[in-house]
Amino acid sequence: MSEKRNKRYFGTDGIRGKVGEAPITPEFILKLGWAIGRVMKRDGKDGILIGKDTRISGYMFESALQAGLSAAGVDIRLLGPMPTPGVAYLTRTLHAQAGIVISASHNPFYDNGIKFFSSEGTKLPDEIEFAIEDELDKPMVTVDSIHLGKAKRIVDAAGRYIEFCKSTIPAKIELSGVKIVVDCAHGATYHIAPNVFRELGATVITIGSEPNGLNINLDCGSTKPKALQAAVVEHQADIGIALDGDGDRLIMVDHQGEEVDGDEILFIIAESRRKTDSLVGSVVGTLMSNLGLEHALQEKGVGFQRARVGDRYVMEILKHEGWLVGGESSGHILCLDRTTTGDGIVSALQVISAMFESDSSLHELKSGMKKYPQHLVNVPADKSFDLAGSDVINQAIRDVEAELGKGGRVLLRPSGTEPVVRVMVEGVEVEQVTRLANQLAEVIIDAQKNK
């Protein structure tokens, strides 16, 4: 039954939107806290954790969630600013009923959202999200005063998570003599990521580490790595690490100032696991993963499977197949042999471990994968337009695929959030890829006019 229902509030990664506009309002978040408390309350588990990133609205929504949970009779444990994967880890190790993260990830400061983790540190299953939405339809009733939830702050949360991150690589790895630039995107990792690498012995230069509530992800972090690229070259660093606002994504920079994206990071980690016979099964990417990743893995004898765009769908395949490594081009990397969710710091440590084990630079490791040129065009499209049912568009796709042959790929994907169709063409030659993508875009525009 649940698969046939449409969720009213939950998206692929919690609930997200602009602050002050439904559903991201104090009133809704108050009741959401109450609804979560009603659904997640379990015997033998110790309260619900709340962590947040650094955007200014986090204070407001933390208080609203706290009030709602207390009204439902659930104890609250406050973590303060904490990366999303840190909340997942602490939810599991502190045996909490659930974990809540107040964050809009890589979005600007004026957005916010709520993400959830189960007691196992994994994202909530659909049936729990539906149950929460069902509770939201009910009138809010406060438990008797004697049963109201209490709140306390976990003062050593950051230290606990730092120690966990360090434990995900062999103890023999010591980073003395290694210079690293860390871009924290003025987000939730500002007080954690630099300390992880410093405590491992590295010389650390930080940027994007002075949050003021309004500058999260502003011209920095994993979505805008140019500042990091410049800093790595300026400081003659060995590597650069760019995280997003809530710390679950990673983009890296090699010593030459060249960007190393999620596909290349995924290749490096998978190849390192393969060499040590610790890679289980195949690697999972998405429909947007570069064809070069697929071919590079195949050359190493490693299988590759594509999921729908979104780490949730990558996780579904990994869990179903019992595999361990997957990720997205955006830098959301899953290493299920290390932790239960995407973790930018842990992923960076896996790459550093691969560098040490192979005695190679990041630049050398990424050269094992040749990226194919991609060209992406966003084409305005009416939501009601039947893209898949258009004979003209389907013929145009076949024509493009025929010209590309086995050395290329075409993807047309309606956006889930905007009235556009994303046209992506990938191939060997930049000029050809660009021409064919624009050609397909024109066909879609004309097909809508002539429908």
What span, in angstroms and rounded, lies between the C-alpha atoms of 347 and 327?
Answer: 10
DSSP 370: P
What span, in angstroms and rounded, lies between the C-alpha atoms of 78 and 75?
Answer: 10
Q: In terms of Cα–Cα distance, which of 131, 312, 330 is closest to 223?
A: 330
Among candidate residues 105, 209, 330, 353, the one labeled active-site is: 105
Q: In what order do the strands lie in the sheet with 374-380?
A: 374-380, 420-426, 409-414
Phi-psi region of 249 (alpha: psi -120 to 50; beta: other; left: phi over 0): beta
Q: Which residue has the tokens 């002050």?
A: 20
What span, in angstroms and rounded, lies between the C-alpha atoms of 369 and 363?
Answer: 11
Told to judge if 272 belongs to the known catalytic residues of this protein, a careful annotator would answer no
Q: In what order do the strands lie in the sheet with 48-52?
A: 15-18, 111-117, 98-102, 48-52, 76-81, 151-153
Q: Give backbone dihedrals phi and psi of 269, rounded to 5 degrees, phi first.
A: -65, -45
What span, in angstroms and rounded, lies between the C-alpha atoms of 287 and 267?
Answer: 16
First to last CA, the chain: 35
Q: In what order do the strands lie in the sheet with 325-327?
A: 304-307, 283-286, 325-327, 333-335
Sign of CA dihedral 302, 306, 307, 312: positive
What span, in angstroms and rounded, lies between the C-alpha atoms of 90 and 79?
Answer: 9
Would you please indicate which residues are annotated as catalytic (active-site) residues?
105
